[in-house]
Structure 1
Amino acid sequence: MPNQTITSSATADDAATVHGTVAEGYENVREEFAAFVAGEEHDPAAQLAAYRNGRLVVDLWAGDVAGDSLSGVFSTTKGAAHLVVALLVQDGVLDLDREVAHYWPEFAAEGKGAITLRELISHRSGVIGADDGFTPEELADDRVVAERLAGQRPFWQPGAGHGYHALAIGALTGEVVRRATGRSIQEIFEERVRAPYGLDFFLGLPEAERSRYRDVLPMLPTPEQQAALSASPIGRYNRLPIAFNTSADPSFDLVGFANSPASLANGPASVGGSGNARGIAGMYAAVLGDFNGQGPLLKPDTVAEFARIHSHGTDLVLGGPSAFGLGFEALGVSYPALGADTFGHSGAAGSLAFGDPRSGLAYGYTRRRFAFPGGAAPENERLSRAVYDAAIAQ
């Protein structure tokens, strides 16, 4: 992979310079990334990485970040959490079709006794939050969240539909993991995934790595974008404030939470991961095949089961369409240019990471400034398409 520094405009402004490398055949990816940087009005701080069959083929960054800078990746963390669940299912420690209450008896309260692990991690349990919300300190501690949610009534009949368990799913599955193994998701991820594969993706950021962390920056919507957010029916959907904790008093600041010392230290499994594009892409490279001298984390049949669509249609939290496998987003639905069995997860500020079993492609993207309108940043569509087209042309 030749070293390259690519300037995306004729100015001397460092923010307009793309740094990094691409492999032969991936030059169009560099061009698409440079076009994004040149057109970004505020803080074009972003990273893009991709692996093909375990080989790094794209490694680009721009703006006020370096290639190894770390930042909050929000719900991209859910991919790491549910990789741990997949490993434990593969090991025979967890059974997808056993009731959650089999592992965690207290969860059976308020009519939740029949909810299976499969239903829980496909966002079908209805346990999306607490009636009176959580403090930021509570949300930073998965065990505290799980204790409160054990006694919470579901917000719809479990199994009757699906809705995004935005801030709850990691604590809920984390408690199942803890009851079954005596270990936390964070501990298992560190020992079985992050450390042996050398990933720059942490569920609990060590003090020694804090100097590399760059705070996530809040969204700066234009007046037109702000009006669109205010008018959106999704923004008014009645379950959304529960799921995103904005019904709490005082209202919850997601960006401030991601940057908080408690969230960084604990790495809550729904939204608290810290990483960079190399790290989040590397995790999916390690799932799909040999990586950094280690064998693949998951067997093909395990990948197929967790990537298979389990929930599809109108999301009872978001009010629009969504598609989930088991803990992962079914990204072949929202990104039809990718393989149909592509699985991964996006994050609120704009990050996205996925693996495509058919092409052997693993993709990771992060950005520092929160993108409009939230969730996977719009530029991911063009960037992922460019990466995928280059990969399948090889």
Structure 2
Amino acid sequence: MTGNFSRETSAGKVEGICDPKFKGVAEAFVENFEKRDEVGGNVCITLEGKTVVDLWGGKKERNGDAWEKDTVSIVFSCTKGATALAAHMLADRGKLDLDAKVTDYWPEYGANGKEETLVSMMLDHSAGVPHVREKVKSGGYWDHDYMCGLVAGETPFWEPGTRNGYHGVTFAWTVGEMVRRASGTSLGAFFRDEIAGPFGLDFWIGLPEDKEPRVAKMIDAEMPADAATSRFTQAVMNDPQSASHLFLLNNGGANFNSRECHAAEVGSANGITNGRGLAGMYQPLANGGGKLVSADTLNRMGRVAMATHEDATLLIPSRFALGFMKSMDNSAVPNAVNSSCVLSEDAFGHVGMGGSIGFADPRAQMSFGYNMNRMGFGILLNDRGQALVDAAYEAIGYKRSGGVFAG
């Protein structure tokens, strides 16, 4: 039976609820504050539709106010899971055919070698537009139509469908635009009306101004010495024409702590929520699809759609379902700091830059969400998030073997 939890740490109080079965998660969360320089965060887990862990603690900023139960933060690419869910819901309703050509919905996109691109290629990161080459104007990320115009006019980095490379930000103007055209409303409005609102989630893609005081500002990651030699870091620093460099640095001076950012609808990168909101979004998907999607659509959402030995953007092996990340164990890859996210083979979800994560595991009937404000360096999870995931799986009797957790 879930009970109250309270613990003082050197970084502030940790409190909430935790089922004794998941005491390892609570201990890992506390240890993040004591030993891994966590500043503030929230972890939430549901099992068989019931909340078994909901813990929060620390500070909204270093030496600042306490992280409250309703504190939220930007979760970066965890937003892709929300955008992908919207696309699959529309597909389930017959409004978006994932196997159709993009030009069936967006004729202007069919230019410069992108004419045969399928909607599914946008979801599995094989569409060939991992970023745009033209310099993004100041504040361009917050102008949806402007960015859609750049993406539509872009020449693909490779023939669409022939390989994949993480569409780290452009996912907002590929999949996000598919949602807008298929639904007739903006992504943020669709998500609010069809997902966040009905399920009572504190989760926004386009934050109302009156919620701004609840937002914890993100603390930039510090690059560890051993990360400088990674292939991704080297490409970012030394190859200005690479997808890696453009994705990370061609951003129009984007300030993700700004009100301008929080108010925009960037379906790849600016969702604002907490661990509770992430776990809540994935909870129906961990339990048969609920009122969100049919069983057939749920099965398709969790299947690997694209895997590669070298992601063209991240320069590591990667595995994706249609819009979601699958388990990736790159711990043995040299010069690839924090480039893994180890889940079960059945799980699907998404990591956010800095180390946040949300996912569903339909076989285990478990959903998971974690957010924080001190970003970690690296492409996928760092030791804070993975420690919580490890403890969650261990609590339900899973063991880590061959790069995944198995029950």
Residue 140 in structure 1 maps to residue 138 in structure 2: no
- Residue 20 of structure 2 aligns to a residue in which SS? coil
Q: Is the 8 A contact 1:140 1:268 kept in 2?
A: yes
Q: Pick the structure with more helix per residue.
A: 1
Residue of structure 2 in register with 1:242 after alignment:
246
2: CA distance, partners of 1:305 / 1:290: 12
2: CA distance, partners of 1:167 / 1:98: 23
Residue of structure 2 in register with 1:19 after alignment:
15
One-letter amino acid matched to 1:3: N
1:352 to 342, 345, 357: 357
- Residue 98 of structure 1 aligns to a residue in which SS? coil
Identity %: 31
2: CA distance, partners of 1:332 / 1:131: 29
Q: Is the 8 A contact 2:358 2:369 kept in 1?
A: yes
Displacement of 1:332: 6.4
Displacement of 1:111: 1.2
Displacement of 1:32: 1.4
1: CA distance, partners of 2:176 / 2:258: 21
- Residue 125 of structure 1 aligns to a residue in which SS? coil
The 3 A distance-change label for structure 1 pair 113 and 337 is closer
One-letter amino acid matched to 2:168: A
Residue 213 in structure 1 maps to residue 221 in structure 2: no
Displacement of 1:374: 4.6
The 3 A distance-change label for structure 1 pair 92 and 392 is farther
2: CA distance, partners of 1:265 / 1:179: 21
The 3 A distance-change label for structure 1 pair 392 and 88 is farther
Residue 297 in structure 1 maps to residue 292 in structure 2: yes
Residue of structure 1 in register with 2:8 after alignment:
7
CA offsets 1:118-153 (integer angstroms, 9 cap, x no match): 112100011122212323521113222112211110
Residue 328 in structure 1 maps to residue 324 in structure 2: yes
Displacement of 1:271: 0.2
1:385 to 371, 390, 399: 390
Displacement of 1:157: 1.6
- Residue 60 of structure 1 aligns to a residue in which SS? strand
Which consecutive residues of structure 2, in runs of 5 or more, have no partner in the other structure?
60-66, 236-241, 331-339, 399-406
Residue of structure 1 in register with 2:46 after alignment:
51
2: CA distance, partners of 1:234 / 1:114: 29
Residue of structure 1 in register with 2:238 after alignment:
none
2: CA distance, partners of 1:198 / 1:39: 34
2: CA distance, partners of 1:391 / 1:140: 42
Which is further off, 302-311 or 231-240?
231-240
Residue of structure 2 in register with 1:155 after alignment:
157
- Residue 139 of structure 2 aligns to a residue in which SS? helix
Residue 78 in structure 1 maps to residue 80 in structure 2: yes
Displacement of 1:70: 0.8
Displacement of 1:267: 2.9
The 3 A distance-change label for structure 1 pair 337 and 75 is closer
Q: Scaled by the length of structure 2, what TM-score is found?
A: 0.87
1: CA distance, partners of 2:247 / 2:263: 23
2: CA distance, partners of 1:97 / 1:290: 23
- Residue 202 of structure 1 aligns to a residue in which SS? coil
Displacement of 1:352: 0.5
One-letter amino acid matched to 1:239: A
- Residue 197 of structure 1 aligns to a residue in which SS? coil
Residue of structure 2 in register with 1:370 after alignment:
375
- Residue 353 of structure 1 aligns to a residue in which SS? strand
Q: Is the 8 A contact 1:359 1:392 kept in 2?
A: no
Q: Is the 8 A contact 1:142 1:171 kept in 2?
A: yes
2: CA distance, partners of 1:378 / 1:136: 34
Q: Scaled by the length of structure 1, what TM-score is found?
A: 0.90
Q: What are the residue-to-residue correspondences of 1:313-324 with 2, within 5 Å?
A: 313=308, 314-324=310-320
Q: What are the residue-to-residue correspondences of 1:192-203 with 2, within 5 Å?
A: 192-203=194-205
Residue 110 in structure 1 maps to residue 108 in structure 2: no
- Residue 355 of structure 1 aligns to a residue in which SS? strand
Residue of structure 2 in register with 1:35 after alignment:
31
CA offsets 1:259-298 (integer angstroms, 9 cap, x no match): 121221123101010001100111000333389xxx4412
The 3 A distance-change label for structure 1 pair 336 and 276 is closer
CA offsets 1:16-59 (integer angstroms, 9 cap, x no match): 53222101311111111112211034x52121111112211111
One-letter amino acid matched to 2:353: A
Q: Is the 8 A contact 1:96 1:117 kept in 2?
A: yes
One-letter amino acid matched to 2:321: G
Q: Is the 8 A contact 2:285 2:362 kept in 1?
A: no
2: CA distance, partners of 1:374 / 1:361: 24
The 3 A distance-change label for structure 1 pair 382 and 132 is same
RMSD after superposition: 2.1
Residue of structure 2 in register with 1:181 after alignment:
183
2: CA distance, partners of 1:328 / 1:113: 24
1:306 to 277, 292, 301: 301
Displacement of 1:328: 0.7
One-letter amino acid matched to 2:243: R
